[in-house]
């Protein structure tokens, strides 16, 4: 066929409304050029359609934020407390929704420009999802849907946590858009060498051709977000598929499972702000259950180890506030465990409560370095007393460095209820001047500041041996490249807009990582 005939076919196809013209493999340069132009134009139109849809999507939560906040401001003096709590909750959910949409736009822009990068970590899937499920549940509840989940235990995966969370958020959000007053189920399990995430909805049946359409770039229909999730899944080394039945649809994400977790990759137990960590070392599951239930009313979290070697692995990544240690253990007895714990510099001053059914070993326990001894079965009030007495109160001095007054105010109000002392400076030069006068327990640092930005502050901190020891958490609204993260070295990074809980969790983690015996008060041995 001649070049002229092929051009006629292409133009006729476009005039009839076709999207993918014929002769894509033509040998004629002019036909190939026309194909490139057509694809570019189609891409532009899809981008325009996508951005138009996103503009509307962004306005929906923004309208809720502005509308409910105006109501509160106008009627604050006579606002019913229950109504106030309900409306503030709506503002919070709308803000989370807005943040998710912005994250989606950022993901799309990075995928289109080829600049998407991965920050892989080893995840305990159940612990990872427990932090996301409340937000997912609130998201689907906006359409009167109920979120159900089934997550297998002991599942591990090495992947980019934020991108995995983004995929699941987009799939659950899509399911909620097509479902009204129904059920959305998240199921996670391992099949052979793959970790499988399934999102199932009970919405209207989606025709297979429409389901396939949702995988196209910039689809702006009910399946919006699926194409982004599909491409991010490929970036993670996985695959995303979909199927439709007589009712609803099922989207399945498959990622390579992590069969064996090395000690270096062992996930750190999650510790929430304000909680004191009690590490229980006992081969009897009943003891773990009893300690956890006895401490349920106190601000404590119980982390379990069922043997000495397991406990020693845990304390490589976690510094507990109190250790409850059984004297009689298989393989490695409690006395050897106690000696090895005390030999670790970061645990030398950590309070240890020895437990045993043998009442005559209390003197030996205290003599070898335990801070208290309890005879099994132990008394609940005595256990609470030991924990509260040995932990004590930890008040920290925090330096907040940010040029935005509102950002400093939000952080200050999040930290004060925990009893922390908060100092504020508005720029990098002010931070360095402050640090010449005194050293805080922790620095919360914004990256985007005028004159001296956060990167320069980090560089100067790292060049000073004394200042480099101060725990540092970076707060930023910018998207960091891999080179940015390398410049920040081991610094914790929190995206602005993710809420106070993220700030507090990163702050506590930074304090734990850098904790030294001098900063942990050693309790006195109780006198008879």
Which residue matches tokens 């570019």?
Answer: 40
Q: Residues 29, 31, 36, 40: is their CA dihedral positive or negative?
A: positive
Q: Which helix (H) or strand (E) holds 47?
A: helix 29-75
Helices within 207-317 (DSSP H only): 208-213, 226-235, 285-294, 308-314
In a 13 Å sphere around the CA of 149, the CA atoms on its Cβ side amount to: 19
Say how many C-beta atoms besides its own lie within 10 A of residue 490's C-beta.
Answer: 9
Q: What's the confidence (pLDDT) of residue 495?
A: 45
The answer to whether the beta carbons of residues 371 and 395 sit under 8 Å apart is no
Closest Cα to residue 232, out of 162, 286, 129, 281? Answer: 162
Q: Tell me: the pLDDT tens digits for 304-333?
A: 888 888 889 888 878 788 888 888 887 788
Cα distance between residue 107 and residue 437, in whole Å:
43
Domain positions in the chain: 3-113, 120-256, 271-391, 397-518
Domain 397-518, what fold?
A: Rossmann fold (3.40.50)
pLDDT band at 260 (very low <50, low <70, confident <90, very high): very low
Which residue matches tokens 């600049």?
Answer: 115
The answer to whether the beta carbons of residues 365 and 354 sit under 8 Å apart is yes
Q: Tell me: the pLDDT tens digits for 328-376?
A: 887 788 888 888 888 887 777 677 887 776 555 555 655 665 656 565 5
pTM for this one?
Answer: 0.47
Considering the domain 3-113, what is its CATH architecture?
Orthogonal Bundle (1.10)
Is residue 7 predicted with pLDDT exceeding 60? no
Same-fold call for 120-256 versus 271-391: no
In Å, how far from its chain's centre is CA 94?
Answer: 19
Q: Which helix (H) or strand (E) holds 150?
A: strand 146-151
Q: For domain 271-391, give the CATH superfamily.
A: Response regulator (3.40.50.2300)
pLDDT (average), residues 123-143:
84
CATH number of the domain at 120-256, out of 3.40.50.300, 3.50.50.60, 3.30.565.10, 2.70.98.90? 3.30.565.10
């Amino acid at each position: 066929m001649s070049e002229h005939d092929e051009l006629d076919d292409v133009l006729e196809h476009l005039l009839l409304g076709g999207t993918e013209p014929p002769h894509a493999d033509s040998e004629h340069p002019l036909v190939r050029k026309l194909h490139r132009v057509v694809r570019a134009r189609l891409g532009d139109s899809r981008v325009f359609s996508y951005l138009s849809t996103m503009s509307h999507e962004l306005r929906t939560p923004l309208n809720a934020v502005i509308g409910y906040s105006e109501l509160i401001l106008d009627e604050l003096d006579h606002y019913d407390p229950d109504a106030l709590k309900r409306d503030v909750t709506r503002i919070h959910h709308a803000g989370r929704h807005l943040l998710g949409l912005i994250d989606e736009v950022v993901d799309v822009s990075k995928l289109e420009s080829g600049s998407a990068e991965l920050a892989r970590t080893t995840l305990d899937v159940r612990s990872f999802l427990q932090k996301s499920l409340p937000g997912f549940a609130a998201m689907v509840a906006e359409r009167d849907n109920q979120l159900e989940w089934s997550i297998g235990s002991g599942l591990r995966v090495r992947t980019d946590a934020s991108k995995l969370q983004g995929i699941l958020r987009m799939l659950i959000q899509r399911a909620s858009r097509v479902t009204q007053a129904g059920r959305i189920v998240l199921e996670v399990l391992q099949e052979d060498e793959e970790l499988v995430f399934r999102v199932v909805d009970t919405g209207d049946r989606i025709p297979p051709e429409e389901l396939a359409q949702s995988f196209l770039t910039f689809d702006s229909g009910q399946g919006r977000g699926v194409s982004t999730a599909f491409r991010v899944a490929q970036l993670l080394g996985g695959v995303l598929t979909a199927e439709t039945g007589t009712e609803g649809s099922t989207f399945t994400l498959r990622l390579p499972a992590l069969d064996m977790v090395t000690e270096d990759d062992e996930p750190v137990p999650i510790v929430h702000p304000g909680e004191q960590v009690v590490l229980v070392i006992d081969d009897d599951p009943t003891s773990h259950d009893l300690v956890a239930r006895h401490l349920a009313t106190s601000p404590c979290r119980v982390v379990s180890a069922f043997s000495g070697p397991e406990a020693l692995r845990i304390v490589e990544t976690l510094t507990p506030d109190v250790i409850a240690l059984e004297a009689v253990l298989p393989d490695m007895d409690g006395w050897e465990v106690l000696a090895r714990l005390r030999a670790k510099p970061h645990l030398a001053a950590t309070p240890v409560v020895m437990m045993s059914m043998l009442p005559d070993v209390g003197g030996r326990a205290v003599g070898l370095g335990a801070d208290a001894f309890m005879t099994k079965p132990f008394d609940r009030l005595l256990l609470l007393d030991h924990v509260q007495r040995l932990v004590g109160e930890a008040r920290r001095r925090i330096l907040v460095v940010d040029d935005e007054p509102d950002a400093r105010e939000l952080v200050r109000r999040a930290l004060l209820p925990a009893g922390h002392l908060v100092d504020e400076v508005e720029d990098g030069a002010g931070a360095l001047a402050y640090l010449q006068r005194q050293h805080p327990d922790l620095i919360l640092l914004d990256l985007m500041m005028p004159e001296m930005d956060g990167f320069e502050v980090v560089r100067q901190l790292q060049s000073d041996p004394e200042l480099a020891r101060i725990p540092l958490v970076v707060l930023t609204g910018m998207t960091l490249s891999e080179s940015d993260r390398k410049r920040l070295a081991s610094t914790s990074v929190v995206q602005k807009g993710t809420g106070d809980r993220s700030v507090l969790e990163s702050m506590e983690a930074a304090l734990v990582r850098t904790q030294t015996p001098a900063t942990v008060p050693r309790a006195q041995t109780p006198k008879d």
